Amino acid sequence: MLLLGAHMSIAGGVEKAILRGEELGCTAIQVFTKNANQWRAKAISAETASAFAQAWRSSGIKTVIAHDSYLINLAAPEEDKWLRARNAFIDEMQRCALLGIPALVMHPGAHLGSGEKAGIERIAAAFKGIFAEAPEGVTVLIENTAGQGSYLGGRFEHLAEIMDRLPKGRLGICFDTCHAFAAGYDISSTEGYAGVMEEFRRLVGLEHLHAFHLNDSKKPLGSAVDRHEHIGKGAIGLQGFAQLMGDPRFAAVPKILETPKGEDNEFDRMNLGLLRGLAKED
Ligand code: MN
Ligand code: MN
Ligand code: ZN
């Protein structure tokens, strides 16, 4: 079964995301469990958790994953900022556990001038503490980035280095197509796609790839600029997405759109329709 959908708004209650996804025929969705631009959030009540579970159970949605707040930077060199991020991330994992969400996508963070090596050590140190305190049922998915500024995760090597420093089983990867392309990984052609996935296999391992973010890129290959475009309308183009949708190695991996939604999610309908077509063609 194709696990395909989009990031869905939680406006009006987290369970509303399920209803919105269901309306679009999603079989997988992504949500924030709180406002992604704020530190604070209302705790998840028993009522909220049960409304969410009820909506999920009675929907056609198989997979729900969460995305963490944009404020969290586990690579932060300053102690107080790092601690705040670490504690906020534990809270995010607890929110996922309360909602029964099994995976939480996060951006590895920015070293802010302290250097790649120091940043990676910082992230690994944060996760050691996080995994000791946070619920075990939630897998953390590190997302590859466009490699903008001091942001880590633009190279597959960064992802591998973080994973190598931590015990197996609690970490995986979320592969964002726009970010990979902007970071210089050319997935736009058949040969390009094959080469990039081979490099990912060699450095990280395909078994660690637990989710995809499907976004085309407004900006060219290697631009290091993260701007999402509708599927097929950007610099990656349809050929790259056809490769991915037809790749049997990723048939069971959830695939989530993070593209502009338009009025009443009209662009989600368009992009989902296109991707369903590409999945069938193979
Ligand atoms: Mn992300
Ligand atoms: Mn993404
Ligand atoms: Zn992005």
What is the per-residue pLDDT across 87-139, written as a single tens digit (0 to 9) for each? 999 999 999 999 999 999 999 999 999 999 999 999 999 999 999 999 999 99
- Residues less than 5 Å from ion ligand 1, measured at CB: 143
- 143 CA distance to ligand 1 middle (Å): 6
For tokens 């969460």, the residue is: 66
Here the tokens at position 276 are 């369903």
pLDDT attached to residue 212: 99
Give the ligand with the smallest distance to the CA of 229.
3
Closest CA to 258 of 174, 196, 188: 174
- 60 CA distance to ligand 3 middle (Å): 27
Report the C-alpha gap between 49 and 70 in whole angstroms: 23
User: Per-residue pLDDT for the chain (282 aa), expressed as one digit of tens each?
Assistant: 899 999 999 999 999 999 999 999 999 999 999 999 999 999 999 999 999 999 999 999 999 999 999 999 999 999 999 999 999 999 999 999 999 999 999 999 999 999 999 999 999 999 999 999 999 999 999 999 999 999 999 999 999 999 999 998 999 999 999 999 999 999 999 999 999 999 999 999 999 999 999 999 999 999 999 999 999 999 999 999 999 999 999 999 999 999 999 999 999 999 999 999 999 865
pLDDT attached to residue 282: 52
- 146 CA distance to ligand 3 middle (Å): 7
pTM, rounded to two decimals: 0.98
Give the ligand with the smallest distance to the CA of 105.
1
- 107 CA distance to ligand 3 middle (Å): 10
Give the ligand with the smallest distance to the CA of 256.
2
- 144 CA distance to ligand 2 middle (Å): 8
- 88 CA distance to ligand 2 middle (Å): 20
- 239 CA distance to ligand 1 middle (Å): 23
Helix (H, G, I), strand (E, B) or coil at 12: coil
pLDDT attached to residue 281: 67
Q: What are the extents of the domains in the chain?
A: 4-35+43-279
pLDDT attached to residue 82: 98
Q: For the domain made up of 4-35+43-279, give the CATH fold.
A: TIM Barrel (3.20.20)
Phi/psi of residue 42, nearest 5 degrees: -70, 140
Q: For every residue of 124-166, which 3-state class applies, written as one string?
A: HHHHHHHHHHCCCCCEEEEECCCCCCCECCCCHHHHHHHHHCC
